[in-house]
Chains A and B, each alone.
Chain A
Amino acid sequence: MVFPTDAILRPGGQSGPVWKKTPCRLCGVGCGLLVAIENGRAVAVKGDPDSPVSKGLACVKGYNSVQALYGRDRLAHAKVRRDGALVEVPLNETLDLVARRLRETIEQHGKNSVAIYGSAQWTIPDAYIASKLFKGALGTNNVETSSRLYAGSAMAGLQSSFGLDGGIGCYEDIDHADVFVLWDVNLAETDPVLFSRMLDRRRVNPAVRIIEVATRTTRTSYAVDHSLLHAPHTAPAIANGICNEIVARKWVQQEFVSQHVAFKRGKTNIGDGLANDTLIAEDATDSTWREFVAFLADHEPERAEKLSGVSAASIRWLASLYGDPLRKVMSVWGREVNQDVRGTWMNNLLYNIHLLVGKVASPGNSPFATTGQPCGGSAVNDAGSLTHTLPRGVVQNEEDRRRAGDIWGVPVERIDPQPAAPLLSMFRRLERGDIRFLWILGTDPMVSLPNLNRYRQAATKGDRFIVVSEAYPTPTTDVADIVLPAAMWLEREGIYANVERRAQHFERMVAPPGEATGDAWQMIEVARRLGFEKLFPYQPGGHVEQIWEEYRRFHQEPQDALPAASELRANPGVMWPYVAGRETRWRYNSAYDPAADGTHGAFDFYGHADHRAWIWLRPYEPPAESPGGEYPFWLTTGAVLEHWGAGSMTQRIPTLHHALPHAYVEINREDASELGIRNRETIRLVSRRGSIELETRIDYRSQPPRGQVFVPSFDEARPVNRLMLDACCPLSGQPDSSKCAVRVERLPTRSGT
């Protein structure tokens, strides 16, 4: 008998879709989603109400994300370039070719002539296998991911201020904070669900204040309570001005500082990373409270006003919010802060503010760096896939090398103690010919690297062999010698971790097309062809769990213990450190963190040998390139809500593509009027490195202040990175790629006016 309810739930007698949980594929918030699978296809999405991250909410990208699997030009077969054209070749044969070329390159040019550039959107097992293959089996540290491009300074900032990577607080801070300060982050578009949580907090408790410090007026500006506009790169001046005021008004939490904080000086005048190819080593000299106060005397709010454009009164007011002992403050920042020649310093400065007033590592008191990428960009997630890291710790550390040697089963001497130079240096070495073989997986550097023309030329030089693993044709596959078809999210099992240290598992739900294969498995196949079967004994189908459990062996201490795969399967994500069945939500806090030794008081900053967090004396230093002369405008770039990264997925999702089909340039209304530029007119932007033509939008979505233009960076057909500068933070290696100096040109019309 067919019950009426059956007829409703399963119309036409079908079995109906099955809903399965997964983290979202896209940004670093890591919303929990439920995906409907029917007839071997992902057909619908809803927010997972059980997700502690998103509580049932999602954004337009998440809702439409499954459509990314079904673009018309999806790559299903391997291709090899012969006589200039890519021809289809069976996968096994192609993997043979990759392995052979890799081996030959090492034989002819040495082990450091090969490199792998993976993705901040890798799953953790992908990252782990890359590290094991290149660092453990082949013995080269030429392993890098695009995490460096988005989160390098955030990592270096945590490392220098606290001695350890990985965020301190969690999203639950949002439910406790009284004041939110957004530093240079258009949160409504970059982390929409996180921002919605803040708006929800304010709706339920209207005393909550949201303040932004920003370089232009955005969608976020219309939702916050106060917006302080400042010139690009000048946020460090504001941060030091705030510290100056906190000290002057005696809002410092002296007991906290004397018990838990140490002062350090580092190198100054560290340059812009253009001339040198290696990171500069930090030089930590002991300093004192008195020296710090004397240092701050140079950084009064009045000086910050001159540098930044934010009034001294506003800076003092912001300082009063930080200094108010009765208010919990959460600071949030992201890519624009990190992508700067002093990105690491700015991270330190934001921690300085929170440390001075004792507002750190407790519910609601939270300096919080978002990084935008699904793998969060913190040490556990990169799993050893950066040029200096191992699955735990760094290559320079003997104990960390020994542990890796033991777990991997390789002689410890094979692991190189000298880190390779990161990201841009890697591409410059490709340019020079020091690197001859580069394997790029799951990222689109031919859209996302600054000073794009230079690195595209590097990749297309003769005798550079480029292998690209991708799901769709992109400007990066255009320069490939071999293209390997990649299985995407949901087509393979995986584990992501988001910015609040939450590892989330998703099972394989649908079959990948043709011969498309997951990144980790591609690397395992190549490793076996190189003779490393014993090091990579994993079974297909079960390999993700096997790799995760092997990776867990690196993390057995309470300060970074990982949950078992079974726990990840059963829950909508589990935060690490995970100790004795409990998540550590606030690290370094003796009440919440089992790794915190109670003998140090309420907090134990065990990342440093002195068990203290460090306040670094970081002065203001000018930007790498400033507007002036022939290039009088700032050009800033960034993300928009509808698109993700370099757009290879979201541009193929119809709803998102139709919502925003191409990039544009936003210019201030008055500037446009002075230059005679009309809305929707095509104009040209020119920098010292390249030029681009774009449609103008005035008062469309964001409003740059006078002297600034903004271009979103998602559009491969209008790659703004041609214009951007490849300077970087000399401490973190993160490129200063979201701003540079340009001039704005009208195009001559047909009539010649």
Chain B
Amino acid sequence: MSAPDRHPAALVLGLFMVGSAVTAAAALSVAVKRVAAGREAVPVLIAVNLVAAPEEPIRAEAQVFRTTPAILAIEPATRRERSAHPRTLKTVRFLRAFPGAPPRIPHALTPEEFRTDACKTCHERGGFSQRFDAYVPVTPHPERGICLQCHAGEDSLMGVAIPIANPNARCPQCHGPSGGPPRADASLTWPTTVWPQVPLTTRDQNPPPIPHSLQFRENCLTCHSGPSAVAEIRTKHPERVNCRQCHVALDPEAEPFTRPLQDVAAVPGSAP
């Protein structure tokens, strides 16, 4: 879990950094005492000074355990059953030029959002977006720098005002005046390779292997659980957080195992 969770009683207000010239790492934890002042408890910062941050953890290992409340499964009774934009394998593939490609941005962005790369305000934690009548997909890699570096949009939707209140004005902005597929479609079909699939036989019998590359998708829960999960691949057991204990990634270049022939006489130290 991330650092603040190790100190459930602490409230992190901020970190003050000393000039990074001092390279000796003495990471002190930040804690806050609630000091009674009159009627209100006033949080006071007492310890400070994270001098050098810890070494960058191995992404492929650390990200698996990162989660937020919004991406865990929500009780069906509190979850809206219908949104205008359910997320399915079909919609997922629609937005990707080839398997594993960074998805295109299917929705309009206001000028402020487009200029300042404010995607994480929605896509880091997910939740329901009234603006687009959809559960927001959660990014498996929020720590990456600038979202627009890899995720491109449709020019006519970038940097435009969005009429939020009136669905009659709002929907045609992306779907055009007569409805239909969103304008982010255009003619982006391009001959590519087949999408990975998990055949039925495997699904029923044992934990299926991971059929896709993990690069940038180390955090499983963002697509496989939560209200914005892709419908066909939603996991029935999101509370088991160590996904890769049972589900392994496959090396597509591995040959079937055969035991190399050993000449006993050639092994040093063996009996003649």
Residues in chain A within 8 A of chain B (CB atoms): 3-5, 7-9, 11-12, 14, 16-17, 36, 38, 41, 43-47, 49, 56-60, 63-64, 67, 70, 178, 188, 192-193, 195-196, 199-200, 203-208, 219, 222-223, 324, 326-327, 641-642, 654-656, 658-661, 697, 699-701, 703
Contact = CB atoms under 8 A, between A and B. Distances in A.
A456 to B, nearest CB: 28
Given A60-B151, A206-B17, A326-B21, A222 B116 contact: yes
Contacts of B15: 206
Interface in B139-160: 143-146, 148-155, 158-159
A7 B150 contact: no
Interface stretch (B84-92, B187-195, B230-238, B258-266): B187-195
Contacts of A58: 150
A641 B17 CA distance: 33
B158 to A, nearest CB: 8
B201 interface: yes
Nearest to B101: A63
Interface string B110-124: 010011110000000
Nearest to A18: B253
Contacts of A16: 193, 252
22 contacts: A4-B199, A8-B196, A8-B197, A9-B196, A11-B197, A16-B193, A43-B192, A46-B213, A193-B149, A195-B145, A199-B145, A199-B146, A204-B53, A206-B17, A207-B17, A219-B148, A324-B21, A654-B186, A654-B188, A658-B152, A658-B186, A658-B188
A338 B154 CA distance: 33
Nearest 10 pairs between A and B by C-beta?
A326-B21, A207-B20, A199-B145, A659-B152, A44-B98, A196-B145, A207-B17, A4-B202, A192-B149, A43-B193
Contacts of A14: 194
A222 B115 contact: yes
A655 B97 contact: yes
B19 A207 contact: yes
B150 A12 contact: no
B198 interface: yes
Contacts of A697: 159
Contacts of A12: 194
Given A9-B252, A195-B145, A655-B104, A63 B155 contact: no
Given A46-B100, A205-B52, A208-B20, 10 more contacts: A8-B199, A36-B98, A43-B192, A59-B149, A67-B190, A188-B146, A196-B146, A219-B146, A219-B148, A655-B97
A8 B114 contact: no
A699 B149 contact: no
- Looking at chain B's contact residues, the main secondary structure is loop
A659 B198 CA distance: 33
A195 B117 CA distance: 14
A222 B149 contact: no
Contacts of B102: 60, 63
Contact of B19 (A4, A38, A326, A656): A326
- Looking at chain A's contact residues, the main secondary structure is mixed
B115 A699 contact: yes
B215 interface: yes
B76 to A, nearest CB: 31
B56 interface: yes
B67 to A, nearest CB: 20
A56 B50 CA distance: 29
B209 interface: yes
B99 interface: yes
B191 A41 contact: yes
A195 B146 contact: yes
A92 B66 CA distance: 61
B199 A196 contact: no
Interface in B11-40: 15, 17-22
Contacts of A699: 111, 115, 159
A49 B218 CA distance: 14
A222 B101 contact: no
Q: Which one of A222, A656, A659 has the highest number of Cβ atoms from chain B below 10 Å of its Cβ?
A: A659
Interface residues of B, number: 61
Contacts of B186: 654, 658
Nearest to B118: A222
Given A205-B53, A326-B19, A8 B146 contact: no
Given A8-B196, A64-B97, A205-B53, A223 B145 contact: yes
Contacts of B241: none
Nearest to B199: A7
B127 interface: no
B65 to A, nearest CB: 19
Given A219-B115, A219-B117, A641-B148, A327 B19 contact: yes
Contacts of A223: 117, 145-146
Contacts of A326: 19, 21-22
Contacts of B187: 654
Contacts of A17: 193
Interface string B236-263: 0000000000000010100010000000
Contacts of B21: 178, 324, 326-327
B211 interface: yes
A332 to B, nearest CB: 15
Given A63-B102, A658-B155, A11 B194 contact: yes
A327 B20 contact: yes
Nearest to B196: A8
Q: Which one of B20, B116, B159, B187 has the highest number of Cβ atoms from chain A below 10 Å of its Cβ?
A: B20
Contacts of B104: 655, 659
A161 B84 CA distance: 62
A9 B196 CA distance: 7
Contacts of A9: 196, 211, 250, 252
A655 B103 CA distance: 10
A644 to B, nearest CB: 14
Contacts of B144: 57, 196
A208 B102 CA distance: 29
A46 B194 CA distance: 15
B247 to A, nearest CB: 12
Given A207-B19, A654-B186, A661 B155 contact: yes
Contacts of B146: 188, 192, 195-196, 199, 219, 223
A207 B18 contact: yes
B201 to A, nearest CB: 6
Contacts of B99: 44
Interface in B152-173: 152-155, 158-159
A16 B143 CA distance: 32
Given A4-B201, A8-B197, A659-B155, A63 B53 contact: no
A658 B117 contact: no
Interface string B36-55: 00000000000000101100
Q: Which one of B18, B153, B193, B199 has the highest number of Cβ atoms from chain A below 10 Å of its Cβ?
A: B193
A223 B118 CA distance: 11
Given A43-B192, A44-B100, A206-B53, A701 B159 contact: yes
A5 B250 contact: yes
Contacts of A207: 17-20
B215 A56 contact: yes
A208 B53 CA distance: 11
B209 A8 contact: yes
Contacts of A64: 97, 101
B193 to A, nearest CB: 4
A8 B211 contact: yes
A14 B99 CA distance: 16
Contacts of A3: 256
Contacts of A200: 56, 143, 145
A45 to B, nearest CB: 7
A656 B199 CA distance: 34
Contacts of B158: 659, 700
